[in-house]
């Protein structure tokens, strides 16, 4: 039986990924701050999940939590980072921005580094993170969200390069959703909204085939291309 940890499994895409992994012969470590939601997930599929409630902004405690959970699972083949936050911030409140940075930058980095170092020592493994189309370019509605997702995309690229240089079979999958119907999807004008189930299935398939980058759903690749290549004088008016 393979072993996986989903960081941010209490809700949305992470929760669906945890269920999908459990249905596909994985023993799954599930994390998030809300212990009651982890317990609910455990009740749904008894014997499939090991819970560990912790906050990724408490970065000094992360290595301990992940090491303990890995020991309880009896090893680790795959770690998925689905924890994330972000809020619309029209008044540029630095409190909102730095709350986003604490989860999406500091928490993300600490989890990703722990996973990569574990896989390097082990000689193999797979790290996946749910980034976002928002990481393609800056965005005025939630500046820290876009910037933190760009950071994640860039960081994953660095880890992929590191794995190649180490000549180790460590895979890094960057899953970039457009809109998915979860509490995270905020703002008006949403379109091409995927269900969390559909998003999780496409991410799972990308992991299984060791994909480097995957757009969720596939047609968001087109939007990513447009956002990236739109001339500045047009983009800045949006």
* Least distance (Å) between residue 216 CB and ligand NAP: 8
Q: Does 182 bind ligand NAP (CB under 6 A)?
A: yes
Of 5-24, which residues contact ligand NAP (CB under 6 A)? 8-14
Toward ligand NAP, which CB reaches closer, 83 or 89? 83
For residue 179, CA distances in Å to 55, 96, 152 come to 25, 21, 18
Q: What is the dihedral angle through the alpha carbons of 203, 166, 76, 108, rounded to the nearest 10 degrees?
A: -60
Of 19-58, which residues contact ligand NAP (CB under 6 A)? 32-34, 37, 55-57
Backbone angles phi, psi at 67, to 5 degrees: -65, -40
Binding residue (CB under 6 A) for ligand NAP from 62, 66, 103, 115? 103
Contacts of 23 (CB under 8 A, 6+ apart): 45
Q: Does 69 bind ligand NAP (CB under 6 A)?
A: no
Of 27, 6, 1, 192, give the one whose Cα is nearest residue 84: 6
Rounded Cα distance between 152 and 32, Å, is 19
Toward ligand NAP, which CB reaches closer, 83 or 173? 83
Contacts with ligand NAP, residue ranges (CB under 6 A): 8-14, 32-34, 37, 55-57, 82-85, 103, 130, 132, 177, 179-180, 182-185
């Amino acid at each position: 039986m393979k072993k996986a940890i989903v960081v941010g499994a209490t809700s949305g895409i992470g929760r669906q990924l945890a269920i999908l992994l459990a249905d596909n012969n994985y023993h799954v470590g599930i994390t998030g701050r809300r212990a009651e939601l982890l317990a609910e997930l455990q009740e749904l599929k008894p014997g499939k999940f090991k819970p560990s409630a912790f906050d990724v902004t408490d970065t000094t405690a992360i290595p301990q939590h992940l090491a303990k959970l890995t020991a309880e699972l009896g090893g680790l083949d795959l770690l998925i980072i689905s924890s994330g936050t972000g809020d619309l911030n029209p008044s540029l409140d630095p409190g909102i921005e730095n709350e986003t940075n604490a989860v999406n930058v500091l928490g993300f980095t600490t989890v990703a580094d722990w996973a990569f170092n574990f896989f390097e020592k082990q000689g193999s493994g797979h790290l996946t993170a749910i980034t976002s189309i928002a990481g393609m370019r800056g965005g005025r509605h939630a500046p820290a969200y876009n910037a933190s997702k760009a950071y994640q995309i860039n960081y994953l690229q660095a880890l992929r390069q590191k794995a190649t240089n180490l000549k180790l079979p460590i895979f890094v999958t960057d899953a970039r959703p457009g809109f998915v119907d979860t509490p995270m999807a905020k703002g008006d004008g949403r379109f091409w909204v995927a269900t969390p189930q559909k998003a999780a299935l496409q991410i799972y398939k990308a992991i299984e085939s060791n994909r480097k980058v995957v757009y969720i759903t596939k047609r968001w690749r087109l939007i990513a291309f447009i956002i990236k290549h739109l001339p500045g004088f047009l983009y800045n008016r949006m």
